[in-house]
Amino acid sequence: MGKGGESNQNGHNKDNDLKPTVTIDNTNVKRNITHYIAVFTWIGWLSFYLIFTCSVPFLYLYAKNVLIGISSLIFLSAILPIDRKLQPKWAYAIGTWCMKKASEYFHVKVIVEDVEKIKTMGPAVFALEPHDVLPLSIFAFNDCLNGLPGQKCLGCITSACFSVPLMRHIYTWVNAFSVDKKSLVKMLSTGISPVLCPGGVQEVTLMENDNECVLYLNKRLGFVKLALQFGVPLVPCFSFGLRDSFSYWVPKGKFVHKIARTIGFLPMIFFGLFGLPMGPAKPCNYTNVIGKPIIVPKIADPTEEELKKYHAIFVKELTLLFEKYKHDYGMGGVTLRIV
C-alpha cells in the first residue's frame, strides 16, 4: 500500500469530506507591463522565431549587426549545455520571476480538495487534464508558487521544448522537465512528484467545438503503471480556462496525427496575445483543481487488469471533479467525453 493510509473500494482514503482549500488566488491581480514581459520571456519563442525569420531579409540589408547578434545568441544557446547543475543562480532567478509573474498574468487559482493528505502523502503522480492547444496551466505546480504544501513538484513537457535554442534554456530555468520515462523514474526515485498531461498532443486533434472537452485517456495506461510501480498516490487534476488562451485552427487527417505523435506536438496554427501567430497566450484565468489522492498498491509488474482497474478509478474521479466545478469556472455548458 502506498503512503497516505487506507483506501476504500473507490480508491479514496477513509477521510471525512473536507472543505476544499484555495492555496493560490491571483484572480484580482491587475496586470501590468512586467506580466507581459515575463510571459513573452517564458512562452514567446515561437512567435519570436516567426518574426525573426520574416525579418531576416530586412536585417540583412539594413541592420546586419542586429542580425549577427541575434544569430550568435541562437547559436550559443544551441551549443551551451542545459544541465541544471551548470546553470548560474541568476538564471533560476529569472525563471522564478517568470513563474510568479505568469501566475498573476493568468490569474491563477489553485483549489486542493484534501490539502492535509497532499501535505503528508509523500511523492505522487499528478495527472492534469486537459492538454488543449498548450497545457500551460501545468506551470501552476511550480515549487516557487507554493500551491501544493508539502510537495516538490516538477512539470513535465514534451522533450521537443528542450531542442529549440533559447527556449531550451528558459524552460530549464523555470524548472520544467522532459516527460520521457527516464526523467519520470528519476523524479519519483528522488522524492519528486511529476506533473504530466496523460492525454498529450492527441487531445489537440480532438478539439472540434467549444461545447465538448475530449480527453484522450482510454489508451493511456503508462501514468497509472508508473504510480503502481512506485506505490505512490495517483492524483487527478483538472484545469479550467485553457480554451481561452488561443484562437486556433487544427489540421485534420491521419498523416498529420502521425507527425504529431512522432515529433511530440501538433503542427497547427494558433493565435495568442495581440493576435500574434504562434504567440504567447492571451490574458485569461486558469483554475487548477487538485482532486483527492487515489491510493494504489505497490506492484513491480502490474497486469493489464490491474492497470485498467486503477485507470478506471482515475477516470471516474477526474470526471466527478470536472462535473463538480465546471459551473463555477466557465464550463457549465461543456460536456466531457473520454476516448
Domains and CATH numbers, the chain: 21-338 (3.40.1130)
Amino acid symbol at 251? P
Q: Please, what's the largest Cα pairwise distance for the chain?
A: 70
Is the CB of residue 165 less than 8 Å from the CB of residue 77? yes
Is the CB of residue 201 less than 8 Å from the CB of residue 160? no
Return the closest-CA partner of residue 153 out of 106, 188, 204, 120. 188
Residue 180 C-alpha cell reads as 520521457
Q: Which of 5-19, 191-205, 299-313 has the lowest mean pLDDT?
A: 5-19
Amino acid symbol at 207? M
Tell me what pLDDT residue 120 has: 94
Residue 81 pLDDT greater than 50, yes or no: yes
Asked, as a colleague might, if the bond just before 20 is cis with ω within 30 of 0, I would say no
Q: Which of 53-57, 159-163, 212-216 has the lowest mean pLDDT?
A: 159-163
Instruction: Pick the more confident residue, 252 or 314.
Output: 314
Tell me what pLDDT residue 13 has: 46
With cut-offs at 50, 70 and 90, classify the pLDDT of residue 269: confident
Tell me what pLDDT residue 302 has: 96
Q: Cα(150)–Cα(198) distance, rounded to whole angstroms?
A: 23
Mean per-residue pLDDT for 227-256?
88
Residue pLDDT, tens place only, 125-134: 999 999 999 9
Residue 17 pLDDT greater than 50, yes or no: yes
Q: Cα(295)–Cα(8) distance, rounded to whole angstroms?
A: 9
Cβ atoms within 10 Å, residue 218? 11
Query: β-strands 193-196, 153-157: how paired?
Result: parallel
Mean per-residue pLDDT for 55-77?
96
Residue 298 C-alpha cell reads as 505497490
With cut-offs at 50, 70 and 90, classify the pLDDT of residue 248: confident
- List, in order, residues 6 or more apart from 232 with CB less than 8 Å away: 2, 3, 122, 123, 124, 125, 188, 193, 296
With cut-offs at 50, 70 and 90, classify the pLDDT of residue 266: low
pTM: 0.89
